[in-house]
Amino acid sequence: MSNYLHQIGAGHLGMLELWHNELDARLEGMVMKEDVICFERILDESNEVLDGVEAALDRLDANRENYQAFLEYYGSEAYMKDVEISDETDDYADIAHGVLSEDLPYDLVGRMFQTSIRMLELATTLIKER
């Protein structure tokens, strides 16, 4: 028995235990309150992140037809003809024509592929962790 408990006597032990229990409950309540605050922030942030992801997915889905048209153009006879015209004349000098470069279209196709893989991997991880 601690010196303090010895001084107050065994008769006061019940009150001391009650006081300790009340203190423990208050401390636990404070920790619980901090947990609620923390997880409320996580809830809000997660909803905000999902709103952004859903909006981005909606835009990506809406762009699919345009992207497919781009893929059909890239490497087609029309594309090759436009590249030839661009290389041999100044007909396209007054417009942006990065699409006729070798790097920009290739980079876009690669990014789309890598982003699609990343989306699949993340979705798989999220489903498995659920």
pLDDT, tens only, 9-21: 555 556 567 666 7
Predicted TM-score (pTM) of the model is: 0.68
Residue 43: its pLDDT value, please? 96
Mean local confidence (pLDDT), 40-65: 97
Do residues 67 and 112 touch, judged by C-beta distance below 8 A? yes
Question: What pLDDT shows up at residue 18?
Answer: 63
Q: Residue 90 pLDDT > 80, yes or no?
A: yes
What confidence score (pLDDT) does residue 20 get? 65
- What is residue 50's predicted lDDT score, i.e. its pLDDT? 97
**Sequence-ordered list of residues with C-beta below 8 angstroms from that of 108, at least 6 positions apart, any chain:** 70
Q: How far apart are CA 34 and CA 63, in angstroms?
A: 44
pLDDT value of position 5: 44
**For 2, which DSSP code?**
-
- Over residues 99-115, the mean pLDDT reads 96
Whether the per-residue pLDDT at 2 is higher than 50: the answer is no
Higher local confidence (pLDDT), 14 or 106: 106
**Other beta carbons within 10 Å of 98:** 10
